[in-house]
Amino acid sequence: MIRSKLPNVGTTIFTTMSELAVQTGALNLSQGFPDFNGPPALLDAVGRYVAAGHNQYSPMTGLPALRQQVAAKVERLYGAQVDSDREVTITHGATEAIFCAIHAVVQAGDEVIVFDPCYDSYEPSVVLAGGRCVHVQLGADDFSIDWQRFLDALSPRTRMVILNSPHNPSGALITRQDLDQLARLIADRDIYVLSDEVYEHLVYDGACHASILAHAQLYARAFVVSSFGKTYHVTGWKTGYVIAPPMLSAELRKVHQYVNFCGVTPLQCALAHYMAEHPEHIDELPAFYQAKRDLFCGLLADSRFTFTCTTGTYFQLVDYSQIRPDLSDVDMALWLTHQHGVATIPISTFYQQPFPEQRLLRLCFAKREETLRQAAEKLCAI
């Protein structure tokens, strides 16, 4: 018998539902990824860099040109002045960034506060570091942070708090006031902040993303994580980054150099080139995805699902209480896939203690118009 280090972990819901979608031929609105390609100029650049021989290890911390582009971007967007050599590290997707940030500072017996519903990779990374997650529920309706609950969860063992805004799965946004509250509550404590900002460019209706990078007091103790996969429609490239003050970056790099050593060289070259040539790409992203959100929500208005249009990410939550209140969300997701040909994500899987009465599914709208129309037709027929 193997003594598992992760006895409570199975295959992720994203893998499970995507596999089921393939097996059943269902439209896949479950796992979050676009069903369209990245920008042609970005894709073409990869081929050119491969042919030109950029095929050996990149520097451990990431290609300098890409780190410089990241630093320039965060200065332009958030007014943050970060040293691309000492504060930016390119990682194998945000997943590796999160793993390394946790392992850099979480020690055996430490506690890490996470807000439920929370992304699935946080807790296993904490457990493997010898720590323990303390789960704080977000508001059941608006997924906002109740700072009193956070205060109640703090203990002398709290070593880290993990934020995620725009939030997967709800799309909720943390505000500047939230960040000020957090800064005040942890000011005198030895607590690090891990800020998962992979959907930083996917905010709608003119809202602004409140980045930790724009909050000097919090940034001094933070790891800020993002993903080129989301931003450039290339999730399979698994390329992301962490920005952290020099001393924290140095600790993170000690872990990163043995987890992955370095990212994929021609992909980093292509991203650096594309970012330099097309700074407008990120400026256009909110409108690009807002149009998809509006199309999809407009089509779903004729269904028996109820929802409020998401404010961020490429996920839309829908309530199915008027359709099958008898089914748990996991059973509803299975029923929808098998009987109606649309795969979704049940959000109870993002909770340590799900609300038994919650009837919510997550739908990914990072899809071509044709896919969204086909999915909406199926969902409206139920």
Q: Which residue, 16 or 249, is less far from ligand GLN as judged by CB? A: 16
Please check whether residue 318 is in contact with residue 302, taking contact to mean a CB–CB distance below 8 angstroms.
no
Please check whether residue 39 is in contact with residue 278, taking contact to mean a CB–CB distance below 8 angstroms.
yes
At residue 369, what are phi and psi to the nearest 5 degrees? -55, -40
Assigned token pair, 6: 């992760």
Residue among 36, 114, 381, 91 nearest 244 (CA): 91
Q: Does 91 engage in binding with ligand GLN (CB under 6 A)?
A: no
Cα separations (Å) of 69 from 23, 64, 228? 41, 9, 12
Q: How far is the CB of 297 from ligand GLN (least distance, A)?
A: 19
Q: Does 329 engage in binding with ligand PMP (CB under 6 A)?
A: no
Q: How far apart are CA 102 and CA 105, in angstroms?
A: 6
At residue 61, what are phi and psi to the nearest 5 degrees? -85, -10
Decide: helix, strand or coil at residue 48.
Answer: helix
Site string for ligand PMP, 339-368 (x = CB under 6 A): ------------------------------
Decide: helix, strand or coil at residue 161.
Answer: strand
What ranges in 52-187 are assigned the alpha helix state H? 64-78, 93-105, 122-128, 147-153, 176-186
Site string for ligand GLN, 162-201 (x = CB under 6 A): ------x---------------------------------
Interface of this chain with ligand GLN, residues 255 to 294, rule: CB under 6 A: none
Q: How far is the CB of 227 from ligand PMP (least distance, A)?
A: 3
Choose the one of ligand PMP, ligand GLN, none that binds residue 87, judging by a C-beta under 5 to 8 angstroms depending on kind: none
Residue 282: exposed, middle, or buried by beta-carbon count in 10 A (0-12, 13-18, 19+)?
middle
Q: Which residue, 49 or 314, is less far from ligand GLN as judged by CB? A: 314
Choose the one of ligand GLN, ligand PMP, none that binds residue 58, judging by a C-beta under 5 to 8 angstroms depending on kind: none
Interface of this chain with ligand PMP, residues 103 to 122, rule: CB under 6 A: 119
Q: Does 227 engage in binding with ligand PMP (CB under 6 A)?
A: yes
Choose the one of ligand PMP, ligand GLN, none that binds residue 137, judging by a C-beta under 5 to 8 angstroms depending on kind: none
Choose the one of ligand GLN, ligand PMP, none that binds residue 67, judging by a C-beta under 5 to 8 angstroms depending on kind: none
Angle between helices 13-24 and 329-340 (to 10 degrees): 20
Note the Cα 90 to chain centre separation in Å: 16
Stretch that binds ligand PMP, among 53-61, 64-72, 184-192, 233-241 (CB under 6 A): 233-241
Q: Which of 16, 29, 32, 166 binds ligand GLN (CB under 6 A)?
A: 32
Site string for ligand GLN, 3-22 (x = CB under 6 A): ---------x-x--------
Please check whether residue 359 is in contact with residue 320, taking contact to mean a CB–CB distance below 8 angstroms.
yes
Q: How far is the CB of 185 from ligand PMP (least distance, A)?
A: 23
Per-residue three-class SS string for 238-249: CCEEEECCHHHH
Q: Which of 16, 28, 31, 349 binds ligand GLN (CB under 6 A)?
A: 31
Q: How far is the CB of 238 from ligand PMP (least distance, A)?
A: 6
Q: Does 348 engage in binding with ligand GLN (CB under 6 A)?
A: no
Decide: helix, strand or coil at residue 151.
Answer: helix
Assigned token pair, 3: 């003594």
Q: How far apart are CA 377 and CA 382, in angstroms?
A: 9
The residue ranges that bind ligand GLN (CB under 6 A) are 12, 14, 31-32, 168
The residue ranges that bind ligand PMP (CB under 6 A) are 32, 93-95, 119, 164, 168, 196, 198, 227, 229, 235, 238, 240
